[in-house]
Amino acid sequence: MTEAVMDATITKQELERKVCRSSFYAFVKRFWHTVIPEEPVWNWHIEVICNEMQILAERVFKNEPKEYDLLINVPPGSTKSTICSIMFPAWVWTRMATARMICGSYSYQLGMDLSRKSRDIVRSAKYQQLFEDLDLREDQNTKGYFINEKGGYRYTTSTGGTVTGFHGHFIIIDDPLDPQEAVSEVDLKTANNWIGRTLSTRKVDKSVTPTILIMQRLHEDDPAAKMIEANKRGHAAVRHICLPAEVTKDNRKHVKPRSLLKHYTPDLAVPGARLLDPIRIPRKVLEEFKTDNSLGEYGYAGQMLQIPVSLSGGMFKIGLIKILPARPANNQWIELVRYWDKAGTEGGGCFTVGVLMGSLREGGYVIVDVKRQQLDTGAREALIKQTTQLDGHDILVGVEQEPGSGGKESAQNTVSNLAGYRVEIDRPTGDKTVRAVPFSSQVNSGNVSMVAGEWNIDCLNELGMFNKSKYKDQVDACSGAFTMLTQHGGRIGVF
């Protein structure tokens, strides 16, 4: 090889090294085939995500205080894990070889697979050729935990898993909840506590280390919701990138930043709709997702549209609830019931809810009024008594009795507090969802109306999101009131 050819080769390699170091997006394009056999589709959103992550990383490289944590909501099949969990750690080392990264997913096996692919990049001939000073240490070189010769490491964990002894310059969380499973309250609590209480303490420098959360929306109280809420309340600064698979009138306002709307492709099949990636996630694929029984309407709204609510009501088709301008006259009622679902935590936890519902002589049911507050025990009982006095003696009062001796005592105390009024203790059994079925049948048949009031929006939202909603107190109270209205035979527990 001549000296001139050797110089040209070196110059080309140095240029490639410089480009890859200076641009995360260029790095992803250069190393794509190292771990992905399929030909790439370079949709605009990939560059957006790469640029957002690089902006965040540049401050860490300079050891400057972070300006925000990063939340990315994108649908499945959008290359998010390849970018954030596989490529990003390998690229970070090209700029900061000592960087330590803690990476977590809902499944340890999934996390191990992502970690293995990230390690494959670092061990590849091309990577070692361009960044020859980034060899992995032989004494700690496993799929889930590997260290380079400069001391930087990538450690893999899973939701709820241990991270004792590890501290990261970057905390990367990729899908902390399993999108293929129904999200339970236990799963939500575990994921939220793990991110908020465990990972938040495993930072090299809390003022510098950013948290990067990448996930599809699965629940209105999922970890993404926690970050959004913290940002709104001023408890933490969060940069939110939200890219739904399609933009409709229902989720247009949720695209973040709104300026990214201009990149969406008009959908010729659905007038007014726009697609994030018409090649990777075309209309045909979206329609298949909509009819996928394992995903369901709620799953589609969350995972594809990034709004974890049911667009047509799910269990409750709230679009069929008619809004009445005024309460029907007294002579139109068969019976009116005020049903109380009680809670006892002031300023937090569940709500105390009192739903006033009636059955009409001409047929159908009307939600007349909803009282809903977070109160301690004393204030709660005062509200129940005051509301009963205002409702009057003609309205039956229903009080839910929770299981156990404490629930029995609480219900009896309420009955004593309402001496002189008609009160019925209700002892519901079974799952909340099962108990809500009879009432949902009437809603979905168009037999339920609602008197216009300030409480309407909260009530409709909870019905629309049930049973994936954070709070279920209004649904429980509606179900209880409806059950009492439709009971046959003698009433039990009437005083």
Provide the sign of the torsion angle of the four alpha carbons 213, 216, 220, 222, taken in this order.
Answer: negative
352-to-378, 382, 433, 434, 463 alpha-carbon distances in Å? 12, 12, 19, 21, 16
Q: Which two tokens stand for residue 56?
A: 């965040």
Q: What are the residue ranges of helices labelled H in 304-449?
A: 377-391, 404-417, 432-444
Q: Which amino acid is at 121?
A: I
Are 99 and 152 within 8 A, CB to CB?
yes
Cα distances from 159 to residues 72, 102, 190, 260, in angstroms, run: 18, 12, 7, 31
pLDDT score, position 347: 55
Beta-strand (E) ranges in 265-324? 265-266, 274-275, 322-324
Neighbouring-strand partners of residue 337: 357, 396
Q: For residue 193, give both structure tokens.
A: 């506590």
CA-to-CA distance for 464 and 310, rounded, in angstroms? 6
Q: Is beta strand 153-158 parallel, antiparallel or unpaired with respect to 145-148?
A: antiparallel
Radius of gyration of the chain (CA): 28
Q: Does domain 3-243 have CATH number 3.40.50.300?
A: yes
Strand stretches in 159-259, DSSP E: 170-174, 211-215, 238-242, 246-247
Rounded to the nearest angstrom, the gap between the alpha carbon of residue 318 and the centroid of all alpha carbons in its chain is 21
Give the pLDDT of residue 292. Answer: 67
What the block records as the tokens of 15 is: 């240029």
Q: Which DSSP letter does residue 472 get?
A: -
**What pLDDT digit, counting tens, does each position of 180-220 carry?**
775 677 888 999 999 999 999 999 999 999 999 999 998 88
Global confidence as pTM: 0.68
Read off the tokens for 179: 């999108």
Extended beta strands in 268-418, E state: 274-275, 322-324, 333-341, 352-360, 365-373, 396-400
Q: In this structure, are residues 466 and 434 in contact, taking their beta carbons and an 8 Å threshold? A: no
Residue 140 tokens, joined: 């700690």
Eight-class DSSP state of 253 = G
Which of helix, strand or coil describes residue 404?
A: helix
Grouping H, G, I as helix, E, B as strand and the rest as coil, residue 344 is coil
Residues 6+ apart with CB under 8 A from 325: 452
- β-bridge partners, 371: 354
- In this structure, CATH architecture of domain 318-486: 2-Layer Sandwich (3.30)
Q: Tell me where in the chain the CATH 3.30.420.240 domain(s) lie.
A: 318-486
Q: In Å, what is the CA distance from 388 to each residue of 37, 159, 370, 379?
A: 68, 47, 13, 14
Other C-beta atoms closer than 10 Å to the C-beta of 116 total 16
Query: Which residues make Cβ contacts (< 8 Å) with residue 217, sequence separation at least 6?
Result: 73, 224, 225, 302, 303, 306, 307, 308
Q: What is the predicted pLDDT for the residue at 133?
A: 84
Domain with CATH 3.40.50.300 in the chain: 3-243
In contact, 197 and 143? CB cutoff 8 Å: no
137 SS3 class: strand
The DSSP letter of residue 403 is: S
With a CB cutoff of 8 Å and minimum separation 6, the contacts of 419 are 495
**How does DSSP classify residue 87?**
I
Q: What is the pLDDT along the chain (495 residues), one digit of tens a residue?
A: 444 444 555 678 999 999 999 999 999 999 999 999 999 999 999 999 999 999 999 999 999 999 999 999 999 999 999 999 999 999 999 999 999 999 999 999 999 999 999 999 999 999 999 998 899 999 999 999 999 999 999 999 999 998 999 999 999 999 999 987 756 778 889 999 999 999 999 999 999 999 999 999 988 889 999 999 999 999 999 999 999 999 988 789 999 999 999 999 999 999 999 999 999 999 999 988 877 655 666 678 889 999 886 444 467 888 899 999 999 999 999 999 999 999 866 555 689 999 999 999 999 999 999 999 999 999 999 999 999 999 999 999 999 988 877 788 899 999 999 999 999 999 987 777 778 888 988 998 899 999 999 999 889 988 987 876 778 899 999 999 999 999 843 333 333
Whether 237 and 69 have beta carbons less than 8 Å apart is answered as yes
- In this prediction, residue 64 carries a pLDDT of 98
What's at 409, amino acid-wise?
E
Report pLDDT for 116.
97
What pLDDT sits at residue 419?
A: 94
